[in-house]
Amino acid sequence: MLKRLLFISYLLLLCGCKQEKKETIVNKTNTRSTLIKYANGFSIQNQSNGITIIRVLKPWANAKTTYTYALVPKELQASVTLNKNEYDAIISTPVEHIVVTSTTHIPALEELGVLNQLIGFPDTKYISSTATRKLIDAGKIKELGVNESINTEAVLALQPDLIFGFTINDGNSTYETIQRANIPVVYNGDWVEETPLGKAEWIKFFAPFFNKTQKANAIFNDIETSYLEAKKLAAGAKSKPTVLSGAMYNDVWYLPGGKSWAANFLKDANALYLWNSTDENGSLSLSWESVLDVGQHAEYWIGPAQFSTYQEMQDASEHYMRFDAFKKRKVFTTANTKGETGGTLYYELAPQRPDLVLKDLIHILHPGLLPNYTPYFFKPLL
């Protein structure tokens, strides 16, 4: 099951003031929204009284539930009262001890300079970050089991200020148990975003919990500038190469839908993804015959799932050998860029650094545009 989830995840590839009376905060308080340019899954409102309201609009795919969190600076706690019924959690900031549940959360913590606040993580073996692995090896980040069934006893022993939760639906009973112990769970839906810059913008979601909003804005602005410059460069290419993607699992070929994150990368790289006219924002599930019919003569094969060598592909299915990109050795994978413990770096860092992904693709698909560039994630199949 884990292998299948990893397979599909590629394709789809957050000094106290004292008064004699407490002030009750009501909805009439003046607010100023943080500018969110690309992400659709969250919003941030900064109230004039110093409270920050974060709403998670898309915690998972096709979610019917939204979540609202009130962030209260510690120096204001003695002077304000909030109606607990209006919020899914009320959190004192800046937070000091946290648990995160997806490797995609790690790069944001590193960039914001708050990695030392991380004290627990499920499945630490999948973390590739060198800095984070040092903390794991030093015993400063505790192993918490697996995300679908986190070791609640270990979490309760750690007593984090909050957990940044990742889930694919509303059925995670472990999170409910943790919340009943008065440890807030804040849902992060970065993985639901369809656009590369939309995913990267979730660094702004993490920032208010640590009083790092200005830093997050500066980091994202640099990423955005780098990405848009690369996109502009690709737009000037003289050709638009055709691209095939994905691979088979149990005789079903999974590949990115035309509105997906992966497909948007190929569009911005000025490539013709052969399934770009489909409406799916997740993955397509097709027969190998239908994929052969459309993609047999594709010039490039980008992202053959977990495969790292041509021999592995051939051993898995001789059908792969019928595609021109396979025959001409034009298959490129992220599976050969791994961390110290074997985790695929792409799953962890790519959402935070879409500019590097785009430059990789431009270097592959338009060789003359970035001749001196060294690919970061995508490497030739061995």
pLDDT in tens, 182-235: 999 999 999 999 999 999 999 999 999 999 999 999 999 999 999 999 999 999
Indicate which CATH number applies to the domain containing 283.
Answer: 3.40.50.1980
3-state class (DSSP) for residue 12: coil
Looking at the DSSP bridge assignments, the partners of residue 121 are: 143
∠ CA(108), CA(103), CA(97), 5° rounding? 65
Take residue 304 and report the two structure tokens written for it.
């053959």
Instruction: Taking residues 168-190, report their average pLDDT.
Output: 92
- The structural domain count of the chain equals 2
C-alpha 234: how far from chain center: 24
229 in a domain, yes or no?
no
- Confidence bin at 336 (pLDDT 50/70/90): very high
228 in a domain, yes or no?
no
What pLDDT is stored for residue 29 in this prediction? 56
Quick check: 34 pLDDT over 90?
no
CB atoms within 10 A of CB 336: 17
Question: Domain limits at 201?
Answer: 24-223
- Confidence bin at 1 (pLDDT 50/70/90): very low
The residue among 34 and 207 whose pLDDT is bigger is: 207
Single out the residue in 223, 255, 285 at which a domain terminates.
223
Quick check: 2 pLDDT over 90?
no
pLDDT tens column, 221-272: 999 999 999 999 999 999 999 999 999 999 999 999 999 999 999 999 999 9
What pLDDT is stored for residue 77 in this prediction? 86
> Rounded to two decimals, what is the model's pTM?
0.90
Do 275 and 198 sit in the same domain of this protein?
A: no
The owner of tokens 């041509």 is 310
- Torsions phi, psi of 248, nearest 5? -95, 150
